Amino acid sequence: MAVYEINGGRPLSGSVTISGAKNAAVAILPAALLVSGKCRIENIPDISDVRILLDILDGMGADVHCPEPHVVEIDCTAVHCTEPNRDLVQEIRASYYLMGALLGRFGRAHVALPGGCSFASRPIDQHIKGFLALGADVEETEDYVALKSGAGGLQGNRISLDMASVGATVNIMIAATLLPGQTVIENAAKEPHIVDLANFLNTMGARISGAGTDTVKIRGVNALRGGTYAIIPDQIEAGTYLAAVTAAGGNVLVQNVIPKHLECITGKLQDLGARIIPFDDSIRIIRSAPLRPSTAKTSPYPGFPTDMQAQVCVCMALANGTSRLTESVYETRFFGYCTELESMGANISITNKTATVIGVRQLHGATVSAHDLRAGAALVIAGLAAQGITHVRNIHFVERGYEDLIGKLTALGAGIKRIEG
């Protein structure tokens, strides 16, 4: 199997352009099932999760065309399949958005339980709660979820989520868009890609308000029309490059970003000693002084994102002092990558949901294995900052969410290459 080989210890310099948001793309593509006509979706990231979703939609009968890089034209008018390919569905977590899309369009769905990264139980109980409130009958097994319109039909309803679940908010928004009546989601997630999904659907004719707040209202419409939409830049990809400069040192301009979306990340990196200079659609990061210890606790947006926990942990591992990092979203996310970092010389201990990170002068190269997408990115960052050669295995996790990682890092002066196994 392919691995990344990283010759670390080099500061990063230059500029990097951020791709479209993975988490927005994997919600918007299933939502295209609701549209009558052709959707042209721009700023699509070229990553494996997107390619798999496009293969799923193509297999369901959608007309999928990529006329130029980072652009997808998709027409789902001819789709009649309500049971997408099981093997492909099980490759990615975001395939569960097909449940809401198929329920909303056809009143039924039969979708295998999704795959993707496995770092916590990550139940879909809030999704099911939403589908039931909309009037669906639900059959849930260890292998699949089957949905169909209940005896009273599907219609809008008020749904109060027990937690601000991103996935449940997305699935309910998609499912409710074409249903009669009004759906109100209380305690909704507020992440930027929630807003992006709502903007996409509204561009196609939906009536959604409140996205980005804790109360989202969806007034059902009879149909959506085709149109053109550009996806926002990827908050977490941008944060990952900012963390890489913080760990390895250097001076980099991170382009095609929305600085407001990154404040929950840049604030922590400033605490650690990075200098952040925001512009309209870019951020310059400079890190030359020694890193300082800090504390962080993950929480839903606009808090510090769980998807940046591992990358920031690498920075803490190189700080001059003791840092503490608490995970409040996914309880087992520390396990795995911290052990890999320890093999590179990091000093990390975990008690309950908190990692105590005692900074070391430097990390050293080692052979490490990624266990999920963001942990894999963290190991790449550790390799960039470490002295010597690092090999990162299981890179398919990383390539789920980072477009042209090798090319972008090489352009910044990193010593990194992909070696085929």
The Cα 165–Cα 184 span in angstroms is 15
Let me know if 117 is a catalytic residue.
Answer: yes
pLDDT in the model for residue 337? 93
Bridge partners (DSSP) listed for residue 258: none
3-state class (DSSP) for residue 306: helix
Helical (H) or strand (E) element with 37? strand 35-42
Q: Which domains does the chain possess? A: 3-19+233-419 (3.65.10.10), 22-230 (3.65.10.10)
The Cα 76–Cα 251 span in angstroms is 45
Residue 288: phi and psi, rounded to 5, are -125, -30
Residues 6+ apart with CB under 8 A from 184: 156, 157, 158, 159, 215, 216, 217, 218
pLDDT in the model for residue 335? 72
Burial label for 123, CB within 10 Å (0-12, 13-18, 19+), is exposed
Q: Is residue 131 within 8 Å of 147, Cβ to Cβ?
A: yes
Burial label for 349, CB within 10 Å (0-12, 13-18, 19+), is exposed
Encode the chain (421 residues) as per-residue pLDDT tens digits.
Answer: 899 999 999 999 999 999 999 999 999 999 999 999 999 999 999 999 999 999 999 999 999 999 999 999 999 999 999 999 999 999 998 999 999 999 999 999 999 998 655 434 458 999 999 999 999 999 999 899 999 999 999 999 999 999 999 999 999 999 999 999 999 999 999 999 999 999 999 999 999 999 999 999 999 999 999 999 999 999 999 999 999 999 999 999 999 999 999 999 999 999 999 999 999 999 999 999 999 999 999 999 999 999 999 999 999 999 999 999 999 988 767 777 999 999 999 999 999 899 999 999 999 999 999 999 999 999 999 999 999 999 999 999 999 999 999 999 999 999 999 999 7
Token output for 202: 């509204």
The four Cα atoms 51, 400, 383, 247 give a dihedral, to 10 degrees, of: 110
Q: Which of 117, 264, 313, 315 is catalytic?
A: 117
pLDDT in the model for residue 119? 38
The Cα 244–Cα 250 span in angstroms is 9
